[in-house]
């Protein structure tokens, strides 16, 4: 049975070797099964005919029927236009062609009834339809009117006559062949509980929907199935880990009590207290913790991490914190060191640029247990880095580490894996987190420390520059510091760098008495560092930079973030950049500068930034604008090769599917019950075809 869907696509009637090669290359379609899973991405409503009188210029594509009354051509030979008038019982509309005139002319016959499909456009009070699809009306095509599926295709495919219509025809051929071979891929109980269509009905329904209700049901069924299997896989991973991996049990809270009573620098927010409780619960439970800690920029994750380290260190183990960049690692180290010193806990920093001699000592002290906490970059993953007993690994991930790297950290402890806390500052919409990190438990710090003034964000155009400069001057006169950030992307690196340097010079001219720093990715690390330090020490008042500061410096005295060409940044990046200010007690500002000309999406991004400071709201908008692929970086994208579901839109279905997967695993953790046979064989066949299953474990 399975074999049939593995049949090479070239053997399908109407394909052949040449087209097959193109389908392989352009759409990744290799087999019958692949073609069936090449779902339409939208539909045109061909279920009903409009009358000519109903039409107006605001309508999308419409279908009408009528007879051609008159055909005429106009214009010079090379620019000949063809006009035909289609009449039904309610009126008449002009159809017009600018290309292929000769061909249409041969085909059209006056007096015969046609069906016509196209977009009505208004010219003054007149309507016409340019380049409509037109077909003789026969009893056959009048009866089989349905929602017309539109398939993704490419220019090269179209050249070989594989347009959407042709793909649709292939689907029909294939479905007829396959009809009796489509087997159910979900258990009957789920189908009954969630009132799903059968797999066969769903496949027919999604490729050839008779009506919108059926289409909706068919696509629900397929999306549900897709998301169900993603969730099942993640939940099974989690189960396997919980079973397999015992966790170290930490009990000793003496350090914690002392820190709370004597050294806690401020009251924790309720959200911080809640997540600490969640984490402590895990670390005392006897199961290995794998938890994602989400918290917006400035929400205070560092101290949470430290307090968790206290439990590990207090119980006689060590803690490690890994960050994706040297700047970030250094900053974490500085933050943690202050707390650690107050408690007499030993801590060190290990990065690529740690000196060899120092490195050797660190390695030694880690192994002997003299070092309680180590902070660093990838350098921590090297084999020479050995712990006496690693209790807690904190990974500041920001999508930069892959799952594989994460698990490399675990293995630093031979007998028992350490507890793992993954921190991310990029708020991930819940739906996405559930898919990407569905194998982790999730804690969220959804509250900023009290007394923070929300950052005021405005959007200004290039022409407002003088006023912006005036404002910058005022802020500096009040003792504040200012960031001015320029975009720099690889594709236009040279030009971007020039913009940055031009900007730098113009700033120096506009503020002749004010010391200005400039930092960009092309500078040598020590030159960069030197400039950064000057700004940190407030020797310079303005920092002109590329996004290198995105994950970097913490300068509470900086109160203004100016972002040049703001329309070129993604939402997540804008939000990260804005998070660089608003760290002190002063009112902070973010000024987004753009050209007057903005794409629709660019405008939505800037409006979103002006409207809200809430990272989760921004992440949701981002997900809707861009789809999930871009949000996640490449390392995890394998998890997100979804064929039909859309995480931006199908959050609800995801919830339902996850619920179903949880329920199922509760009742039958190893999927051995006969009722779940379908699931086992489906997982088996997915394992064969998709790399995904192995990629994430």
Q: Which residues bind ligand ADP (CB under 6 A)?
A: 266-269, 272, 295, 297-303, 425, 449, 583
Q: How far is the CB of 476 from ligand ADP (least distance, A)?
A: 22
Q: How far is the CB of 423 from ligand ADP (least distance, A)?
A: 8
What is the spatial distance between Cα 100 and Cα 557, in angstroms, rounded to a whole number?
67
Tell me, letter by letter, the H, E, C secondary structure of 118-170: ECEEEECCEEEEECCEEEECCHHHHHCCCEEEECCCCHHHHHCCCCHHHHHHH
Nearer to ligand ADP, 206 or 303 (CB): 303
Nearer to ligand ADP, 33 or 295 (CB): 295
Q: How far is the CB of 669 from ligand ADP (least distance, A)?
A: 36
Nearer to ligand ADP, 242 or 268 (CB): 268
Q: How far is the CB of 18 from ligand ADP (least distance, A)?
A: 56
Pull the structure tokens for residue 115.
């069906």
DSSP 627-653: -SHHHH-STTGGGG--SS--TTT-HHH
Nearer to ligand ADP, 398 or 475 (CB): 398
Pull the structure tokens for residue 468.
């912006």
Nearer to ligand ADP, 185 or 573 (CB): 573
261 strand-pairing partners:
none
Q: How far is the CB of 14 from ligand ADP (least distance, A)?
A: 57
Nearer to ligand ADP, 334 or 368 (CB): 334
What is the spatial distance between Cα 59 and Cα 128, in angstroms, rounded to a whole number?
12
Q: How far is the CB of 208 from ligand ADP (least distance, A)?
A: 51
What is the spatial distance between Cα 152 and Cα 42, in angstroms, rounded to a whole number?
9
Q: How far is the CB of 303 from ligand ADP (least distance, A)?
A: 5
Phi/psi at 374 (nearest 5 deg)?
-125, 135
Nearer to ligand ADP, 303 or 563 (CB): 303
What is the spatial distance between Cα 595 and Cα 166, in angstroms, rounded to a whole number?
43
Measure Cα distances from 74 to 81, 116, 312 in Å: 5, 22, 85
What is the spatial distance between Cα 427 and Cα 483, in angstroms, rounded to a whole number?
23
Q: How far is the CB of 338 from ligand ADP (least distance, A)?
A: 9
CA atoms within 13 A on the CB side of 578: 31
Helix, strand or coil for residue 301? helix
Q: Are 447 and 269 in contact (CB under 8 A)?
A: yes
| Closest CB to ligand ADP: residue number | 300
Q: How far is the CB of 577 from ligand ADP (least distance, A)?
A: 13
Nearer to ligand ADP, 298 or 418 (CB): 298
Q: How far is the CB of 30 from ligand ADP (least distance, A)?
A: 46
Q: Residue for token digits 């959050």?
A: 651
What is the spatial distance between Cα 70 and Cα 165, in angstroms, rounded to a whole number?
29
User: Residue 396: enclosing H or E segment and its boundaries?
Assistant: strand 390-396
Q: Are 12 and 30 in contact (CB under 8 A)?
A: no
Nearer to ligand ADP, 162 or 548 (CB): 548
What is the spatial distance between Cα 419 and Cα 309, in angstroms, rounded to a whole number?
10
Q: Are 394 and 305 in contact (CB under 8 A)?
A: yes
Measure Cα distances from 428 to 58, 275, 432, 568 in Å: 37, 17, 6, 21
Nearer to ligand ADP, 397 or 496 (CB): 397
Nearer to ligand ADP, 267 or 684 (CB): 267
Nearer to ligand ADP, 158 or 273 (CB): 273
Q: Are 552 and 519 in contact (CB under 8 A)?
A: no
Nearer to ligand ADP, 273 or 414 (CB): 273
Nearer to ligand ADP, 267 or 477 (CB): 267
Report how far Cα 301 is from the mean position of its chain's Cα atoms.
22
Q: Are 684 and 233 in contact (CB under 8 A)?
A: no
Q: How far is the CB of 590 from ligand ADP (least distance, A)?
A: 16
| CA-only gyration radius of the chain, Å | 31
Q: How far is the CB of 479 from ligand ADP (least distance, A)?
A: 19
Q: How far is the CB of 444 from ligand ADP (least distance, A)?
A: 12
Residues in the chain: 697
Helix, strand or coil for residue 556? coil
Nearer to ligand ADP, 260 or 266 (CB): 266
Which candidate, 298, 299, 300, 315, places its Cα nearest to that of 256?
315
What is the spatial distance between Cα 183 and Cα 654, in angstroms, rounded to a whole number?
23
Q: Count each helix (H run) and each strand (E run) in the chain, helices first.
A: 27, 22
Q: How far is the CB of 619 from ligand ADP (least distance, A)?
A: 15
Which candidate, 563, 533, 568, 526, places its Cα nearest to that of 545?
563
Helix, strand or coil for residue 538? coil
Q: How far is the CB of 583 from ligand ADP (least distance, A)?
A: 6
Helix, strand or coil for residue 544? strand
């Amino acid at each position: 049975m399975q074999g049939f869907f593995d049949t090479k696509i070239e053997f399908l009637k109407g394909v052949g070797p040449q087209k097959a090669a193109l389908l392989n290359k352009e759409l990744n379609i290799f087999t019958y099964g692949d073609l069936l899973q090449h779902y339409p991405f939208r539909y045109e409503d061909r279920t009903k005919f409009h009358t000519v009188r109903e039409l107006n210029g605001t309508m999308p594509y419409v279908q009408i029927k009528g007879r051609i009354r008159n055909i005429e051509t106009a214009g010079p030979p090379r620019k000949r236009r063809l006009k035909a008038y289609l009449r039904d019982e309610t009126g008449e509309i002009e159809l017009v062609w600018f290309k292929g005139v000769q061909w249409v002319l041969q085909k059209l016959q006056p007096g015969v009834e046609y069906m016509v499909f196209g977009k009505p456009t208004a010219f003054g009070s007149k309507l016409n339809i340019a380049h409509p699809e037109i077909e003789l009306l026969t009893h056959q095509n009048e009866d089989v009117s349905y929602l017309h599926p539109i398939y993704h295709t490419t220019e090269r495919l179209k050249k070989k006559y594989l347009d959407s219509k042709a793909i649709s025809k292939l689907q029909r051929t294939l479905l007829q062949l396959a009809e009796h071979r489509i087997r159910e891929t979900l258990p009957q109980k789920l189908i009954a509980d969630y009132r799903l269509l059968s797999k066969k009905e769903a496949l027919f329904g999604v490729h050839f929907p008779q009506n919108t209700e059926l289409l909706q049901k068919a696509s629900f069924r397929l999306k549900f199935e897709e998301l169900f299997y993603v969730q099942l896989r993640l939940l099974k991973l989690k189960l396997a880990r919980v079973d397999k991996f015992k966790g170290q049990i930490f009990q000793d809270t003496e350090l914690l009590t002392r820190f709370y009573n004597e050294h806690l620098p401020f009251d924790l927010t309720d959200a911080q207290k809640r997540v600490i409780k969640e984490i402590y619960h895990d670390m005392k439970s006897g199961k290995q913790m794998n938890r994602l800690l989400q918290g917006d920029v400035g929400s205070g994750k560092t101290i949470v991490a430290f307090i968790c380290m206290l439990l590990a260190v207090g119980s006689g183990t060590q803690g490690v914190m890994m960050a994706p960049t040297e700047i970030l690692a250094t900053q974490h180290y500085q933050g943690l060191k202050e707390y650690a010193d107050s408690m007499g806990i030993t801590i060190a920093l290990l990065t690529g640029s740690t000196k060899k001699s120092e490195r050797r000592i660190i390695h030694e002290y880690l192994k002997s247990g003299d070092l309680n906490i180590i902070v660093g970059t990838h350098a921590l993953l090297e084999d020479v880095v050995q712990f006496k007993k690693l209790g807690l690994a904190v990974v500041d991930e920001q999508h930069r580490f892959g799952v594989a790297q994460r698990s490399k950290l675990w293995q630093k402890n031979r007998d028992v894996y350490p507890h793992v806390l993954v921190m991310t500052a990029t708020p991930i919409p819940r739906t996405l987190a559930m898919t990407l990190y569905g194998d982790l438990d999730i804690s969220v710090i959804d509250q900023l420390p009290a007394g923070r003034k929300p950052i005021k964000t405005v959007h200004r155009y290039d022409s407002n520059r003088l006023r912006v400069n005036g404002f910058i001057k005022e802020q500096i006169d009040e003792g504040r510091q200012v960031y001015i950030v320029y975009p720099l992307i690889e594709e236009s690196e040279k030009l971007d760098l020039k913009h940055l340097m031009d900007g730098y010079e113009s700033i120096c001219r506009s503020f002749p008495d004010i010391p200005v720093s400039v930092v960009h990715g092309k500078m040598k690390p020590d030159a960069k560092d030197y400039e950064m330090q000057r700004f940190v020490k407030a020797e310079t008042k303005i920092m002109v930079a590329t996004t290198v500061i995105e994950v970097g410096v913490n300068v509470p005295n900086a109160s203004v973030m100016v972002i040049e060409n703001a329309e070129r940044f993604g939402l997540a990046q804008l939000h990260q950049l804005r998070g660089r200010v608003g760290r002190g007690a002063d009112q902070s500002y973010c000024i987004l500068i753009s050209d007057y000309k903005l794409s629709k999406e660019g405008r939505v991004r800037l409006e979103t930034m002006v409207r809200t400071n809430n990272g989760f709201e921004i992440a949701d908008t981002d997900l809707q604008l861009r789809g999930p692929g871009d949000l996640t970086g490449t390392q995890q994208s394998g998890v997100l090769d979804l064929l039909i579901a859309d995480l931006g839109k199908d959050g609800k279905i995801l919830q339902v599917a996850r619920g179903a997967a949880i329920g199922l695993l509760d009742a039958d953790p190893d999927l051995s019950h006969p009722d779940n046979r379908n699931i086992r064989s489906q997982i088996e066949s997915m394992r064969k075809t998709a790399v995904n299953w192995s990629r994430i474990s």
